[in-house]
Structure 1
Amino acid sequence: MTATADAEAAANELTPLADYLGSVLRRLRALPPLDLDLTQAHGNVLAEDVVAPHAFPAFDQAAVDGYAARWEDISGGGRGPSYVPAPSGTPGGRTIRLNVVGDLGAASWRPVRLTPGSCFSVAAGAPLPVAADVVVPVEWTDQGMAAVEIFRAPKRGYGVRRAGEELAVGTLLARAGTYVSPALVAVFAATGIGHVVVRPSPRVVIVATGDELVDVGRGSQPGQVVDANSHALTAAAAEVGALAYRVGICDDDPEGLRGLLEDQTLRADLIITTGGTGTGPGDMVRRILSRREGGRAGPVTFTDVALYPGTALGFGTVGAEEVPVVCLPGDPGAALIGFEVLARPAIQLLAGAEPVFRPSVRAHLLETVSSPGGLREFRPAHVAERRGGGYTVQPLSGGPFTLSGLAEANGLLVLGERVTTAAAGSTVDVLLLDRRR
């Protein structure tokens, strides 16, 4: 049997990524909802639909600074206005003069009514006088105080915002599963909502494992590897909206690892470990967490998934509270890809967010690439919109294991299990990464 045939036979024994993700995500449930003050709700996901208890705007109001008037008075259809010669250069040859009978600001509350031939000076946001159906902008007048001359007549309804014209009482403002953005906070507040029911942000604890690990602030040397993973995964969890906690490095000590995980279940909704998921002599996480005790399987099941990079992934629960735990590989590139395909969807599901997966597009491949048969590959890439529509994608050099490529990427090129070569010019799937640049 050839080396290629051996590789394909080995790949056929792996669990398809889609099947594995489905089996994991079906075991997770969104966190119980909380009733939060509006100022604390930003960044969370709504647990129930929200409807408007009050209209917005709440009353008829001026949309611009100017003069609130009756349109028939300024259009020439009424009896009240006086016509005077227009200033030099004014179109139409004459202006309209109205008596200014008062001023209204945003804090005005007494109801007032217009009479023919009169108007009120109003500030934007001020309640409109009864019978007013137009606001003449200040710059279209001589800005008079006792009487005003209007050089240009707007259309009926100009500068007026009617009660409920944007949002009526009972309007569905947002559905369950919607992310609470700053703009949505403003909508809720404007319609009289002070509390909303949301899913809490998941508390995610990140643990790096391995005797070889040392903390940041130094360079790696033989026998020592700087712990990049726990820092990167903490940042990745925070980017999703989780409350992320890095607990540091845990040595390959069975009792120490069990004790650490047990302690963290008190403050975690999800635990992520990195390192030790393989079957080598130093892979203690898999050996410890999958060990059968008392005839029962270990708390975590490790599966060899048809994923490149990083085929070995673990999932299960730990502690009396059965807190979910995701075990990712130790290679930094494989750990970050594993986070994207497994840990990130798990966090989204716990948070009640929809959809749980990143958005994807179909893109025109600019360079021919090869991929290992039988594995679904996620490769760092740069995706760009084409003028006239559509997308192009450029694979970044170094393949999926390079941290520099992941740092530069704004997308992940996805090559399916049956793809061994993707030719330039073909159409491929690309996951869009959320890069704030």
Structure 2
Amino acid sequence: MEIVGIGTQNWKSASNQSIDVNNGLILQSESDCTRLRRRDPVPFFRDYVLDLSNGVADKYARSTREVVNLLRNTLLSLNESTKAMLRSKENLETALENIRKDLQLNRETAHLRSLKPKEERLADGADDLLNAERLHLVNLKQALEAKHRGVDELLQQLAKSRAALQKLLSERGRVCDLVCGVTRPAYSRQSTRDSGAPGPGNRPSTCGVGGSGADGIDALGSYTPQCEMVIKDAEDLMRRCKLVEGDVAETLDEVKRLQKTAHKSVNDGLVKKISETVTFDQKLELAAADSRRTINKARRWESFAAKSLGYNLGPEKYSDLKAREKLDRPIIRVYQRHPGNQVPEAQEIIKARNYYEDSLLTTRRNIGLLQLSQRRLEEDMRAKKLAASADLAALRNRRKKADHRW
């Protein structure tokens, strides 16, 4: 016998509909689970993200550490260039001080030579050498002052570059607190000594990790355009420092050579002038000796002529004449008894007196002229001795202060 359903159709439809809805929800849930399983992260996603973030930060810190090392090495090289420029500046200042001392010594020499007697102050070759030395030293002083100003300007630029490097180094180093400060250097110390500055080829290849710019330069990376600009400026300054250092060294060597040459030429001129002065002083002494000898000879002749004149004139009083000295002595009176018999005794005595008087006058005039010449010779000798002493004092002063240790 066939079993016929007792429940109504509506009642069955409601139950079947509930079952169908449940089956659909089951399928939808299973589909969503599959889809969400593929989409949703794994359970250890938090740790995974932490590891990724730490890796990115560590990579950036290491890259920045190389940039910091590059900046630090550049700063060290810049410091060495600054030291070299400071040494060059000190050498220039020492050379300028020596030139100022030489100028002062030149003035002292001219002053000592001006203390000579008036007749010995005529311009000579030594004065020309002193003037030439003074002009030469002034020109050297102006050249060294120009070099000194150039070195000062370069030192100011180095100070600005060092300040920029230090500021950038401090800014870049803010992300390197948690990484080791030791890393493979971007360039060796030996290459730094050889080249004097890190070149673009020595920069780290990991700079600017994640950057898209050329040569790893990225405004948001570790190697920023500011780093590139600061390093390039520092390299340019270091190259200029090398050129300036060599130029200053050559200039100082040339200045020292020219100073010694000028100093030696003036000293040689003074030595020659002293030698000439001493030679003329010796000649003047010989001439003065001849003059004294001639004066003594003339005085002896004057004395002889005066005595001879007195002998010829005889006594002043007639009563003092002896009988043989009188013009009217007996033999003469007897001789004159005949007409025309005259003796030229009186005329000859008068003529002899005139001769002696003329001889005395000439001799005394010559003695006066010789004495005047003697005084002039003695004055000239005294002037020559004073001039030689002044030149010798100037020469001793120059030799004493030639080492500039005063």
The interval holding the TM-score normalised by the smaller chain is under 0.3
Which structure: greater strand fraction? 1
For the pair shown, the structure with the greater C-alpha radius of gyration is 2
Please, what TM-score do these two structures have when normalized by structure 1?
Answer: 0.19
